[in-house]
Chains A and B, each alone.
Chain A
Amino acid sequence: MSTVSWITLRGLFGRRRFLLLLPLPLLLVLLAVLSRSLGVDADDWGPPVLVGLGLAVVLPVVALIVGTGVLGAEIDDGTVVHILTKPLPRWQIVLPKLAVAAGVSAVTVAVPLFVAGRLADSVRLGLSLAAASAVGALAYSALFLALSLLTRRPVLLGLVYVLIWEGLLSSFVSGTRVLSIQQYVIALADRLAPTELLHGDVSVPVAAVMTALISVGFTVLAVDRLRSFSVAGETS
C-alpha cells in the first residue's frame, strides 16, 4: 500500500465525518429487513428499495461524497501542494486515490445491497447487485475524482449529474439513459442475475463498454489535469 493511499484513507476516516456514510447503507438494510419480516411481496418492495434507494441514491451519493473528498478536500485545504511537490509521477497520485475512493464506496454500497438482494430474491441476486454496484462505484469515483480537478465546485456539479441528468431528465427523456452510469449498473446486475425486479433499458454490451470507457477515460483525464494543476483559493 503506497503512502498516498495511506494518507487518503486517513483523510477519509480520520475525522468523525465518515460517520455520515453510515446512515444511508443502514437505512437500505433496515428497509429490506422490515419489508421482508412483514411479509410484503418482493416484487413490490424490491424496485423501490434496490433501485430507488440503493442504486439511484445510496450508490451515487456515497460515491460523490467519497470521490470528491479524496482529492477535493486536499485541494480545498491547500495541502495538495505537499503531495504535488513530491517527485511522484501524477498517475501514482491519481491511481491510489481512485483505488481508495472506489474501494471505500464499493464496500459501503455493495454490502448492504448484497443483504437487500439476498432478502429480496436469492444469493445470486445479492452477489450480482454487489458486483454491479462495485463496478458502478469505480465508474462514479473516476467521474467525480476527475470533476474535483476540473472545477472548483465538484460536489455541486456532481449533484447536477446525479439529480438532474440521472434523476430528473431520465424520467422524462429516455434518451439520456444511454449516458447514465445508474442504467449501466442496472443492466449489468440484471444480466448477472435475471429477475423480474430489475429492468435495464440499456443493452449489456453497451453498458459494459461505456462503464469501462468512463472509468478509464476520466482517470486519464484526471491524470492529465493534475499534470498542469494550479492551486487557487476558494471561489468567492
Chain B
Amino acid sequence: MPEPTGVIHDIGYQRYTGPRLGRRAVFGALYLHGLRTAFGLGRSAKAKIFPWLVLGIVTLVAAAATAVRSQIGEVVMTYAQFADNMSWLVIFFVAVVAPELVSRDLRSGVLPLYFSRPLPRSDYPLAKLLALATALWLLLGGPQLLMFLGAAFTGGEGMGGVWDELLDLLPGLLYAGLWAVVFASVGLLVASLTGKRAFAAGGIVAVFLMTTPIVGVLSIMPSRAVNELAFLASPSTLVGGVGGWALGDLLGPQAPVPIGGFGPVYAVAAVLLVAGCVALLLLRYRKVAAR
C-alpha cells in the first residue's frame, strides 16, 4: 500500500474569535433597520415617495397652522387636535409602512434566515412593532415640535410663554404616542397575515376605515350608555376617548369625544386591544413557513 501523497494546504481560513454580539445587538439592528425602512432611508427613490409624501403633508399642515397662529394670533388647532385631524394620513402611513416591514420578509421567504440567528421568536415582531410605533410617533410628534417652536418664539411673552407652550406640547406628544402604539399594533398584525404588500395595504385601510361608520351608527342608538360606549368601536375614537379621559384638560379646551363616565373602560379597552394584537402577533410568528 503506497503512502498517501496528498497534502492539505493551509489557505488561510480562520475562525472568528472576536466578540459575538448577542440578542440585544440583533434586536437593535432589526429595530434600526425597521425604522430606516419606514422612511425609505437607504433605499431607492421609489421607496421614499409615499412615506415622504405623508410626512410632507403633515409638516405642511403644521407649518400652515403655525403661520396662521403667528399672524392672526388665533389657535387653529391644539396639539391633540392636530393628531386627531391627521388620522387619515396616519392610516395611510400605516398602510404604506407596515407591509414594507413584515410582508416583504414573508414574501421573499427570508424569515428562516432571521430565525437561524440567536434571535428569540418574539424579538422579530417586537422589534418591527417598536420600529413602526416610533415611526408613527415621529410622524405626529415632529410637526407638533414645529408648531411648538413656531408658537414659542413668536409669542413674545418671554420664557413664561415658552414654558406654558411646553406644558401644552408634552401631553400632545404623549397623546401622539398613544396613537402610535394603537395604530402600529393593529396595522402590523394585519400586515403580518399576508405576504402581498398590495393586499396588506388594502386590508389595513379596510380594517381602519370600516370601523368609523360603526361609531357613527352606535352613537345614534336610543341608549345613552351605548352612545357613550360607541367610540370603543374604532381605533381612532378609542384613542380620542382614552386621551380625553387620561389627559383631560391638558389636551385642550374641549374633550375630543363625549364618553361620559366611561373613561376607565376606554383605558382598559385600549390596553386590551394593544395586548391582544401583540399576543396574536407573537402567535403568528411562532411558526413561519419557509416559503
Contacts and interface: CB of A to CB of B under 8 A. Distances in A.
Interface of A: 17, 20, 23-24, 27, 31, 34-35, 38-40, 44-45, 48-49, 52-53, 57-58, 61, 64-65, 68-69, 72-73, 76, 152-156, 159-160, 162-164, 167-168, 235-236
A147 to B, nearest CB: 11
Nearest to A152: B46
B254 to A, nearest CB: 19
Contacts of A155: 197-199, 201-202
Contacts, number: 105
Contact of A20 (B47, B199, B217): B199
B96 A52 contact: no
8 contacts: A20-B199, A20-B206, A34-B217, A38-B221, A53-B214, A76-B198, A156-B95, A235-B46
Contacts of A76: 196, 198
A44 B219 CA distance: 10
Interface stretch (B85-93, B178-186, B264-272): B85-93
A52 B202 contact: no
B176 interface: no
Contact of B201 (A23, A35, A48, A159): A159
Contacts of A168: 88-89
Given A23-B210, A40-B222, A155-B201, A160 B88 contact: no
A83 B269 CA distance: 50
User: In terms of DSSP, what is the predominant structure of the interface of chain B?
Assistant: helix
A236 to B, nearest CB: 5
A52 B95 contact: no
Interface residues of B, number: 33
B210 A17 contact: no
A229 B212 CA distance: 39
Contact of A53 (B92, B202, B203, B210): B210
A27 to B, nearest CB: 6
A52 B197 CA distance: 26
B92 A160 contact: yes
Interface string B204-220: 01100110111011001
A49 B210 contact: no
Contacts of B96: 156
Nearest to A68: B198
A154 B206 contact: no
B88 A164 contact: yes
Given A38-B221, A38-B222, A159-B95, A52 B199 contact: no
Interface in B66-102: 88-89, 91-92, 95-96
B43 interface: yes
Contact of B43 (A17, A154, A236): A236
B118 to A, nearest CB: 28
A184 B147 CA distance: 37
Contact of A24 (B44, B199, B206): B206
Contacts of B216: 48-49, 52-53
B285 interface: no
A163 B212 contact: no
Contact of A236 (B44, B50, B196): B44
B46 A236 contact: yes
B213 A48 contact: yes
Contacts of A44: 220
Contacts of B222: 38-40
Given A65-B202, A76-B196, A57 B217 contact: no
B256 to A, nearest CB: 17
Nearest to B46: A235
Contact of A48 (B44, B92, B217): B217
